[in-house]
Amino acid sequence: MLVAGMTMAAQVAAQKASGDYATDLGYVYGGYQRIIALREACDEAVPATRAANGQAFLKWQTQHGELLAELKRRVTAMIRRASSDEKDYARSLGKYEGAILLSREEQKMAFLLAGHEVLQRQCRGMPELLKGPEGDLSVVFADELETIRKHK
């Protein structure tokens, strides 16, 4: 069974790539943040899955390390380009990192509010999800990544 919460990534991707660099980068980076939010919700609400999910997540991060590093690099570079100087960059970086954490916390709360049985199924299915196509950001967000990678 597919993890219901992660079908959100597929739903977001189904919105179609916007063709806009910043928007599409936000979609893909948001998909990454949703995976983290699910893991955090599972760690909190279904601790029995913590070890298996932790191992699966570490393996997933290693497997997708290049893409994750690219996304972080691109987000940071976009903030730097929009900043007038180092002081502005530091302020903007903090602002955006705070917004990303707030968004991830909201996503985590949405997972937690889905109900214990639903979340339990999602948490038990997380290792399989991370191995499958819905856990592969390069598949889920292929169109967005094409837009992003046109921008050097």
Please state, in angstroms and rounded to a whole number, the distance separating the CA atoms of residues 120 and 45: 8
Please state, in angstroms and rounded to a whole number, the distance separating the CA atoms of residues 69 and 95: 20
Given a contact cutoff of 8 angstroms between Cβ atoms, the answer to whether 50 and 124 are in contact is no
pLDDT per position as a tens digit, 31-88 = 999 999 999 999 999 999 999 999 999 999 999 999 999 999 999 999 999 999 999 9
Measured from the Cβ of residue 105, the count of other Cβ atoms closer than 10 Å reads 12
**Structural domain spans, the chain:** 18-143
Please state, in angstroms and rounded to a whole number, the distance separating the CA atoms of residues 58 and 132: 15
Given a contact cutoff of 8 angstroms between Cβ atoms, the answer to whether 38 and 49 are in contact is no
Q: What is the pLDDT of residue 15?
A: 59
pLDDT per position as a tens digit, 77-122 = 999 999 999 999 999 999 999 999 999 999 999 999 999 999 999 9
